Amino acid sequence: MYAFKFSQTYWDHDRDRNTPEERQKTGFHFVNDDYKRGGKNDVLGATKGAGVVRLAAKALKGARPNLDIGLAASNKNYGAAGSFDSISHNYYLFCLNENGKTAYDLKIDLTGWDVQRGSVISVEEVSPEHHGEVTRLVPLAESKEIELTQPPQSVWLITVPQGMPRRQVT
Q: How far is CA 63 from CA 46, 59, 81, in A?
A: 26, 11, 14
Please name the residues in contact with 34: beta carbons below 8 A apart, sequence gap of 6 or more. none
- Rounded to the nearest angstrom, the gap between the alpha carbon of residue 27 and the centroid of all alpha carbons in its chain is 15
- Report the C-alpha gap between 76 and 50 in whole angstroms: 24
Nearest to 53 by CA among 72, 79, 26: 26
Per-run averaged pLDDT (10 residues), the chain, 170 residues: 52 57 62 61 73 89 75 74 90 92 88 88 95 93 90 94 73
- Please tell me the predicted confidence (pLDDT) of residue 1: 39
- Report the C-alpha gap between 167 and 138 in whole angstroms: 15
Do residues 99 and 79 lie in contact, with contact meaning Cβ atoms separated by under 8 Å?
no
Q: Which residues pair with 147 in a beta bridge?
A: 107
- Please tell me the predicted confidence (pLDDT) of residue 50: 83
Question: Does residue 48 come out as left (phi exceeding 0), alpha (psi in the -120 to 50 range) or beta?
Answer: alpha
- Please tell me the predicted confidence (pLDDT) of residue 2: 46
For residue 77, the one-letter residue type is: N
- Please tell me the predicted confidence (pLDDT) of residue 16: 58
